[in-house]
Amino acid sequence: MFLPYGRQSIDESDIEAVAQVLRGDWLTTGPAVEKFERELGSVAGQSNPAVTVTSGTAALHVAYAAAGIGPGDEVVTTPLTFLATATCAAIQGATVVFADVSDDTGNLDPAAAAAAVTDRTRVISGVDYAGHPIDAPALRRVADDAGALLLEDAAHSIGGSLDGTPVGSLADITTFSFFPTKNLTTAEGGAVVSADTELLQRARTFKGIGMVRDPERLRSTDEGAWWYEMPELGLNYRLPDVLCALGSNQLTRLGRFKARRAEITARYSAGLADLDGVRLPAQRPGADPVWHFYPLRVLDGRRREVFDALRAAEIGVQVNYIPVHWQPWFADRGYRRGMCPVAEEYYEQEISLPMFPDLRDSDVDRVIEQVRTALGG
């Protein structure tokens, strides 16, 4: 049987939570949204509620829009990420500047980010690759020196922490994704959290088509109860009650999901530790990751061979990620291979092994055995 590389954990209580909303009065923009937003804020260590949106991509778009970036501005980010971390800045008209990653974690390297900063840098965007938090204190210094915001794409890492500070309170603005393979799911969904109330208000306005009804924000106030205004442009990125109810119920199991992901990671590492020709994922002191996938590095140019052998054995491995600056859209704009050699070498070695809470120990053992067989050890 084919073993997927990631999948959701849905139980009867999730189904019941969704059914309850369907039987009620609000399908969208009702009490389940407010509840999920308060709970997410609290998981992120924020007193502000989160701003929920329809995907992790929407969360990034909303975050860049709230940061007010546009043509002439630069966003420094990592190429070892999903497209949206970079493209949502580009779609706002900003210039994306790729900086290299640290060789151990695959996260944005603060020294490389510092070297990429110019007087046009407005945002520095790190990604918690595979669930391991970014080096936020060092990136914070780079961002502060540049007069830029620090954004953390935490699509992989909700529930993690660094030196006791939860992911969601490490950067100026943090985005989450609730796609089925992520650490918790709302089918499609995402959120933005921040301690900056004004930034969050701009995010909320953007995801609601730029419309405001709050009397304090209106220019004309005596037109009548139907009145709304559009001070800013926006889009409809509202996450409905149906999906927020699923998210709230999933959140009650986030701790268990995280613990099981840690067990699976430890089992992979124990089973592969003595194998030559591979590198296992690093964990820095003070980092408390939520392992979103297991990034195994296969050395000596053997990645393709091991990947194909695992797929042939019905094991759903992935590669995370093709360096974003290699994509045709960026290549057409002058971005070149070789610009970020550490990230590019990381990509050339990487295979993501299956990781999801319902994965059984026997499945993990089968993956380990197949990796060992493929490498002849």
DSSP state of 131: G
Whole-angstrom Cα distance, residue 225 to residue 210?
A: 18
Residue nearest to ligand PLP (CB): 56
Contact 152, 136 (CB under 8 A): yes
**Type of residue numbered 265:** T
Q: Does residue 207 carry a catalytic annotation?
A: no
> What SS3 state is found at 364?
helix
The residue range among 55-63, 91-99, 131-139, 344-352 that interacts with ligand PLP, by the rule CB under 6 A, is 55-63
> What SS3 state is found at 78?
coil
| Binding track, positions 57-76, relative to ligand PLP; x by CB under 6 A | x-------------------
| Binding track, positions 175-214, relative to ligand PLP; x by CB under 6 A | --x-x----------x------------------------
Contact 239, 189 (CB under 8 A): yes
Whole-angstrom Cα distance, residue 146 to residue 270?
A: 42
> Which residue is catalytic, options 35, 182, 207, 258?
182
Q: Is 85 in the site for ligand PLP (CB under 6 A)?
A: yes
Token pair recorded at residue 33 = 């949204």
Q: Is 106 in the site for ligand PLP (CB under 6 A)?
A: no
Whole-angstrom Cα distance, residue 35 to residue 158?
A: 17
Q: Is 151 in the site for ligand PLP (CB under 6 A)?
A: no
Whole-angstrom Cα distance, residue 85 to residue 125?
A: 7
The residue range among 6-14, 51-59, 70-78, 144-152 that interacts with ligand PLP, by the rule CB under 6 A, is 51-59
Whole-angstrom Cα distance, residue 183 to residue 176?
A: 10
Candidates 8, 52, 81, 205; binder of ligand PLP (CB under 6 A) is 81
How many residues in the shown chain lie near ligand PLP by CB under 6 A?
14
In terms of Cβ atoms closer than 10 Å to its own Cβ (0-12, 13-18, 19+), residue 295 is: buried
Closer to ligand PLP by CB, 20 or 236: give it.
Answer: 236
| CA 309 to each of CA 293, 312, 373: distance values in angstroms, whole numbers, following the listed order | 19, 5, 9
Q: Is 153 in the site for ligand PLP (CB under 6 A)?
A: yes
Q: Is 155 in the site for ligand PLP (CB under 6 A)?
A: yes
Candidates 80, 84, 146, 191; binder of ligand PLP (CB under 6 A) is 84
List the one residue out of 62, 43, 91 whose CA is nearest residue 200. Answer: 62
The residue range among 94-102, 151-159, 229-237, 258-266 that interacts with ligand PLP, by the rule CB under 6 A, is 151-159
Candidates 5, 36, 64, 82; binder of ligand PLP (CB under 6 A) is 82
Q: Is 310 in the site for ligand PLP (CB under 6 A)?
A: no
Per CB under 6 A, residues contacting ligand PLP are 55-57, 81-82, 84-85, 127, 153, 155-156, 177, 179, 190
Supply the residues annotated as catalytic: 182
